[in-house]
Structure 1
């Protein structure tokens, strides 16, 4: 079974994006390899950002088996992300 993928759409000039990074590091510590975390710079990946309709950074998109399960705009705490991701790892 494929593990869930958390995509963090960010920009280097974005202040809140800098606050999201430590939360993703905490999440990685809590969940280990149960989830794949990808950081995607919207300025370097315009096509991908357009494909996902990213209008605000940071935006987090959680996918499982190619299907979007959650989409969150703004800074999201690691605990909240863990609660969303755990059912997708079973």
Structure 2
């Protein structure tokens, strides 16, 4: 969990995507996240977290639906939503926190 704290305690927004390989909507988000990362460059960090491999973290954050997307900035959660999102929506959200 201490690594998680280091991951989210950045001055730029950090978009976390919680997914599993067996969830079609989760896998469909991979391409969207790649587009978001490309559009935002070094103004944002995009991280995918497999809940099957990170059960303790997923439980601590009460991840229920997949995919679950969370934006952190300076170690604080600023936005959270479960379900698929499109790249433009995510880019516009992230820009609010840059």
Structure 2 match to 1:44: 53
Correspondent of 1:72 among 81, 85, 93: 81
Deviation at 1:33, TM superposition (A): 1.2
Pairwise CA distance, 1:29:
1.4
1:63 corresponds in structure 2 to 72
Please state if 1:28 is matched with 2:28: no
Show CA shifts across 1:8-60 (max 9, x none).
00001010011111111111111111111111000000111011110011000
Distance in 1 (alpha carbons) for counterparts of 2:34 and 2:94: 15
The two structures, once aligned, show a CA RMSD in angstroms of 1.0
- Structure 1 residues not aligned, in runs of 5+: none
TM, length-normalised to structure 1: 0.94
Ranges in structure 2 where 5+ consecutive residues have no aligned partner: 1-9
- Tell me which stretches of 4 or more aligned residues in structure 1 moved more than 3 Å: none
For 1:7, the equivalent position in structure 2 comes to 16
Q: In the alignment, is residue 82 of structure 1 matched against residue 91 of structure 2?
A: yes
| Partners of 2:53 and 2:76 in 1: CA distance | 23
Alpha-carbon distance between aligned partners in 1 of 2:77 and 2:68, rounded to the nearest angstrom: 13
